[in-house]
Amino acid sequence: MIWDTAALTGRERYQLLTSLVVPRPIAWVSTWSGEGRRNLAPFSYFAAISATPFLVSVSIGSRRGEDKDTLRNIRRTGAFCVNVATEGQLAQMNETAGEYASEVDEFERAGLLSAEAESVNAPYVANCPAVMECRVFKIVELEGSTNTLVIGEVLRVHLADTVPIVPDTMFADSAALRPLARLWGDFYSTIGDTPALKRPPAI
Ligand SMILES: Cc1cc2nc3c(=O)[nH]c(=O)nc-3n(C[C@H](O)[C@H](O)[C@H](O)COP(=O)(O)O)c2cc1C
């Protein structure tokens, strides 16, 4: 089977893309609204894009032609936190993905406690084992797309004691982190087998 993506409908392109780029890590993004309300929602168009500077990106779609709360808040405050949702938080993460009015505090809806980021103006999920405090680096309007790419510079990282650092490195132990990832539709995945293989030496 071969498809020209231009011949597909938007829905078909979305379904093909999100079932081929898998598994996707989930950025559980927390922000403050301009009016002092907390907001939390998951985004799986999420990627690590640079280590120096320390950059991550999240692509946020529009809802009926308007910015989602997360994007509106990020434009206002210039800040957000990426919380790593873990296996035990699947139901809570899903609860925060509902299409709620801006007034709804998703922390409250999902029964989550928040804390205040130290380096940026954003709340974070208190019991997430890994949190990245992000300052907006660049907001890229994607030509012809209803998505907007938000690039954040991670200024501070929180890691719980339950997630050790591999000795003599700065690698966080992913087996201890147990992050959730998204497949397509309602399907998720967790860390399965993690085979290790040394790279071939340079010749
Ligand atoms: C696992 C998961 C991943 C999602 N990924 C994205 C994404 O990458 N981009 C996006 O625009 N919406 C994504 N969504 C949908 C948003 O979470 C949803 O539209 C949410 O209501 C946005 O909340 P907000 O209006 O408070 O920002 C995802 C939903 C789920 C459950």
Average pLDDT, stretch 4-24? 98
pLDDT in tens, 193-202: 999 999 999 9
The DSSP code for 154 is E
Average pLDDT over residues 145-164: 98
- Written out in words, the top-level CATH class of the domain with range 7-190 is mainly beta
- Judge contact between 107 and 115, C-beta under 8 A: no
Across 186-198, average pLDDT:
96
Token pair in block for residue 13: 């392109």
Q: Is 162 helix (H, G, I), strand (E, B) or coil?
A: coil
Say if ligand 1 is within 6 A of residue 60 CB.
Answer: yes
CA distance 165 to 170: 6
CA pair distance 124, 173, nearest whole angstrom? 21
- Residue 112 CA: distances (Å) to CA of 72, 93, 107: 22, 10, 5
97 CA distance to ligand 1 middle (Å): 6
- Find the 186 Cα to ligand 1 centroid distance in Å: 12
Q: What is the mean pLDDT of the chain?
A: 97
Could you tell me if the CB of 154 is within 6 A of ligand 1? no
- Cα(166)–Cα(195) distance, rounded to whole angstroms? 16
Report pLDDT for 39: 98
- Token pair for residue 154? 């991670």
Q: What is the residue with the minimal CA distance to atom 7 of ligand 1?
A: 43
Structural domain boundaries of the chain? Answer: 7-190
So what's the pLDDT on residue 34? 84
- pLDDT score, position 190: 97
Q: pLDDT tens across 81-119, in order?
A: 999 999 999 999 999 999 999 999 999 999 999 999 999
As a whole number of angstroms, the distance between CA 154 and CA 113 comes to 22
Q: What is the pLDDT of residue 156?
A: 98
